[in-house]
Amino acid sequence: MQTLLIALGSLVAYIIAYNTYGRWLSRKIFKLDPANKAPSIEMEDGNDYVPTSKGVVFGHHFTSIAGTGPIVGPALAVIWGWLPALLWVLFGSIFIGAVHDFGALVVSMRNKGQTVGDISGRVLAPRARILFLSILFMALTIVLAIFGLVIAAVFKMFPSSIFPCLVQIPIAVGIGVWIHRKGYKLLIPSLIALGIMYLSVAYGDWGFLHVFNSTLASWPVIAWVVVLLVYSYAASVLPVWVLLQPRDYINSLQLLSALGLVVVGLVVAGIFGFGSGAEKHALEIVAPVARLGDQAPAGAPWIFPFLFITIACGAISGFHCLVSSGTSSKQLKCETQAQFVGYGSMLTEGFLAVLVILACVAGIGLGVPEMIDGKATGETLFGEAAYESRYATWKTSGGLAATVGAFVSGSGNFIQALGLGAAFATALMGVFVASFAATTLDTACRLQRYVTQELGAAIGIKPLTNKHGATIFAIVIAGAIAAMPAPGAAYATENLGKGGLILWPLFGATNQLLAGLAFLVILFWMWRRNLPIWFVAVPAVFMLILPAIAMVSQVFIGDAAWLTGENPNYLLAAIGLTTLALEVWILVEAAAAWPKAKGILEQPA
């Protein structure tokens, strides 16, 4: 019953937050006005600036910001116990993450849909623009380099998810043409698309499709990296309504309905239990409340600041400011819809993170396969033994397979409580994870195109200001990094495509630093307009200090430290120190500009 109360209580808390704090921000602070002309209408070009219904933009925004972050992060963070992870997800998403996303969206809409990196040069200081855009470019390069590997890994773990994920592309193009060119309403095409996608989950691994899925699952990672980067190029340069927007929208239909199934299954399991007869198990939390001090898991880093860095997207993520100011601000038809998309999407992601936590600390207690050295033994573990098998040490809990596996097993049990088969539940959750990763990849490529174009304009490299030149440059850089083998691995076909792992350790702290810098831009924008700033200033300070502590710890502290550890990694140390230096530089620029900025409006976009 405790699990059920947490799930329902979290849902109620998010609904209350949206209708109180979110509404206060919308009406009293940002003063959203339907009379203000949105950038999508003022600058409509049929390619990037496309007026779109708020439901479609919500679908694009939610699936783009979510990715695998709110799954992998919370699924790993419960190693410190369920309560610290739950509290940070709830309070972080309501008071920090949603404010960050909402604020970035509003500021961008008031600046002709420009990205926060571009806006920083006018509201903060001219040099801040280059510094900010440089950090954005590095963070997005890491995302592009790693997510091909993530998707390939998910496909290898859950081959039955391959065909359902691929079939989304032609469905999306059809939906885009149907709605944009023909002007039809959303209801009928949405129902058709959702029905086809669920049929593909149910029957997408039958007969020759099983052979198809198995063949593609056996592809080397490098092949998937190439295919996915080529797809990302197309999604980046095509008009947003052709592929990117409708694919994210139909994904959101499937993913939100799947979340609904998980919630209903959790309710059924919480009330009636799971299984039948002697094999019936009560739904209960099988993880400890907290594992601190002497009870801390072996090999795990300090809970502070790494709990906050690990959970990332489930509570606050700098990547979100790029989606808010990069794509969503160019699509909303009306300024007053920003609360629904910006604030509402983050609360939805927070609720997803809550469900991930419950799946990993309660759902797995209903039964998970025993794994030894990554291979199933044929035995099934229940209760605390199931949790211990996944979270005994930092090493056993780490890695994509372990964290995703814990979520898929736990949430799959919830779905099976509805009487649905294990194969369907596993396929649906596999599609769930892979689809989130794919929507983040294609959106990140489009965002990197914007950042590259802005950098090209700032430093005077004309070819990079062209959308094709900028996109090709972005995917070539990311592809070159991704094509390398993982750290320490030999150059062999099976190892190629894992080069994103080289820079991946930097992403957590860098991503959270982006959130702090975005808060800084929002803060200056409000300061110049004599608006109240306390609700932005406090999160800004927190999100500037927290990633810096994490980065310093990774560079200097412990046996695994990049610079002073037993096996130094000078590449990561150099990039980490450079990132810290850029942060300090931006803060110096901000400190110098702060006294002169109050009440003084920046130059218009």
Which domain CATH number covers 559?
A: 1.20.1740.10
Answer whether 552's CB lies under 8 Å from 558's CB. Answer: no
The three-state secondary structure class of 381 is strand
Q: Where does the pLDDT of residue 183 fall: very low under 50, low under 70, confident under 90, or very high at 90 and above?
A: low
* Residues in contact with 574: Cβ distance below 8 Å, sequence separation at least 6, in sequence order: none
Measured between alpha carbons, how far apart are the two ends of the chain, in Å?
54
Q: Where does the pLDDT of residue 79 fall: very low under 50, low under 70, confident under 90, or very high at 90 and above?
A: very high
Structural domain for 572, as ranges: 2-597
Answer whether 38's CB lies under 8 Å from 334's CB. Answer: yes
* Residues in contact with 294: Cβ distance below 8 Å, sequence separation at least 6, in sequence order: none
The pLDDT score that the predictor gives to residue 296 is 86
Q: Which residue has better confidence, 437 or 22?
A: 22
The pLDDT score that the predictor gives to residue 389 is 87
Query: What values do phi and psi take at 98, rounded to 5?
Result: -70, -35
Domain presence at residue 604: no
Whether residue 539 is preceded by a cis peptide bond, meaning omega within 30 degrees of 0, is no
Give mean pLDDT, residues 557-566.
Answer: 89
H or E element: which one contains 93?
Answer: none
Q: Which of 66-70, 99-103, 448-452, 524-528 has the lowest mean pLDDT?
A: 66-70
The pLDDT score that the predictor gives to residue 400 is 75
The pLDDT score that the predictor gives to residue 390 is 87
What integer best gives the mean pLDDT of the chain?
A: 91
- Give pLDDT tens digits for 326-351: 999 999 999 999 999 999 999 999 99
Residue 394 has pLDDT above 80, yes or no: yes
Region of residue 516 (phi > 0: left; psi between -120 and 50: alpha; otherwise: beta): alpha
The pLDDT score that the predictor gives to residue 425 is 92
In total, how many domains does the chain have? 1
Domain presence at residue 605: no
The residue with tokens 């698309």 is 193
The proportion of the chain whose per-residue pLDDT surpasses 90, expressed as a percent, equals 71
Q: Where does the pLDDT of residue 490 fall: very low under 50, low under 70, confident under 90, or very high at 90 and above?
A: confident
Give mean pLDDT, residues 291-315.
Answer: 89
The pLDDT score that the predictor gives to residue 276 is 63
Burial 74-104, CB ≥16 within 10 A → b, else e: bbbbbbbbbbbbbebbbebbbbbbbbbbbbb
Q: Where does the pLDDT of residue 404 fall: very low under 50, low under 70, confident under 90, or very high at 90 and above?
A: confident
Residue 373 has pLDDT above 70, yes or no: no
The pLDDT score that the predictor gives to residue 361 is 95
Residue 484 has pLDDT above 80, yes or no: yes
Q: Where does the pLDDT of residue 132 fall: very low under 50, low under 70, confident under 90, or very high at 90 and above?
A: confident
Domain presence at residue 196: yes
Residue closest to 154 by CA, chosen among 441, 479, 506: 441
Domain presence at residue 406: yes
Q: Where does the pLDDT of residue 566 fall: very low under 50, low under 70, confident under 90, or very high at 90 and above?
A: confident
Amino acid symbol at 227: V
Give mean pLDDT, residues 502-522.
Answer: 92
The pLDDT score that the predictor gives to residue 403 is 86
Q: How far apart are CA 160 and CA 200, in angstroms?
A: 10
Q: Where does the pLDDT of residue 377 fall: very low under 50, low under 70, confident under 90, or very high at 90 and above?
A: confident
The proportion of the chain whose per-residue pLDDT surpasses 70, expressed as a percent, equals 98
Residue 370 has pLDDT above 90, yes or no: no
Give mean pLDDT, residues 224-238.
Answer: 94
H or E element: which one contains 380?
Answer: strand 375-381
Residue 279 has pLDDT above 70, yes or no: yes
User: E strands within 396-543?
Assistant: none
Q: Which residue has better confidence, 377 or 548?
A: 548
The pLDDT score that the predictor gives to residue 321 is 95
Q: Where does the pLDDT of residue 294 fall: very low under 50, low under 70, confident under 90, or very high at 90 and above?
A: confident
Amino acid symbol at 545: I
Domain presence at residue 486: yes
Answer whether 229's CB lies under 8 Å from 480's CB. Answer: no
